[in-house]
Amino acid sequence: MNGSRSGAEALPAESIDWGHLSVLRDECVAGLQPRSGGCYLDATLGAGGHTAALLAADPEVRVVGLDCDDRALAIARERLAPWGDRVTFVRSNFAQFNPGDQQFDGILADLGVSSMQFDQPDRGFSFRHDGPLDMRMDDRLTESAADVVNHWQEVPLANAIYTYGEERLSRRIARAIVEQRQTQPFQTTLELANAIARCVPGKYRHGRIHPATRTFQALRIVVNQELAVLETLLDRAPNWLAPQGRLAVISFHSLEDRIVKHRLRESTQLKVITKKPICPNDAEMGQNSRSRSAKLRIAERI
């Protein structure tokens, strides 16, 4: 897919702090090779940073932007207003999306939780701020993180923390959660984080990362069914791509990256472009520490 960059626009100057830095933005645009008149799917719109870069690459590019988070969509609508009807907004996750007969010249998925979501205490994604134990990216979901920690049986809870958080102390943590909730159900992020910190050995408590980090990751994945949704995207995306269309996926932890790596390699409809994942350079990591674990993999429709 030979992209034309001759009509590239400058990204508009932004006086508003949108609360999110798009990871590997330039690398995504280069990898997707946007061409004039092409239509692209941003399967994880967020604040719209990647979409803005695609729209700026050529004045004839159009983007369909998906997000299940209505707050993110509101921000993206405001941010992307300068491009008018070149952007179509859809409230959906990429597992529920049905493009009909539409084929895309490129599809982008930036997985995981955005900085906006992490930094909003009332969303409950982070224990850096006290807030309700929620973690739903889509508030239409019926099960929150509080429901999981307060109602799941000990063994399934331990298994989820081990499988999705890769937490070696999962049994100890699950046991402590079940014991504490018998007298006082968990309601906030700090209540859970503190309970986890109290139940682990001192050396573990003062390690490189907070002892609740992996458990919070596991709960977020469970609540939002993130890996199942990712599997669905990787199943369907090749059929949504036009010939020579490209799929670009940014992952942030080993569980996601392992799925992406193997599914792209195993696909009979895709040719892997990135033999090794593209990672942020030192400058980007210095500007945005949350980008450090990002890995970008790209494949092309045969």
Span 289-301, pLDDT tens digits: 889 999 999 999 9
pLDDT value of residue 9: 54
What does pTM read for this prediction?
0.90
Where the chain has pLDDT below 70, the residues are: 1-20
- Determine the pLDDT at residue 7: 45
Q: What is the pLDDT of residues 87-98, one digit of tens each?
A: 999 999 888 899
Measured N-to-C along each axis, helices 49-57 and 70-79 cross at an angle, to the nearest 10 degrees, of 30
Confidence at residue 20, expressed as pLDDT on a 0 to 100 scale: 56
DSSP 12: P
Sign, CA torsion 134/19/56/245: negative
Write down the H helix ranges in the chain: 25-32, 49-57, 70-79, 115-118, 145-151, 154-165, 170-181, 189-199, 202-205, 213-224, 226-240, 254-266, 282-287
Six token digits for residue 50:
């990647």
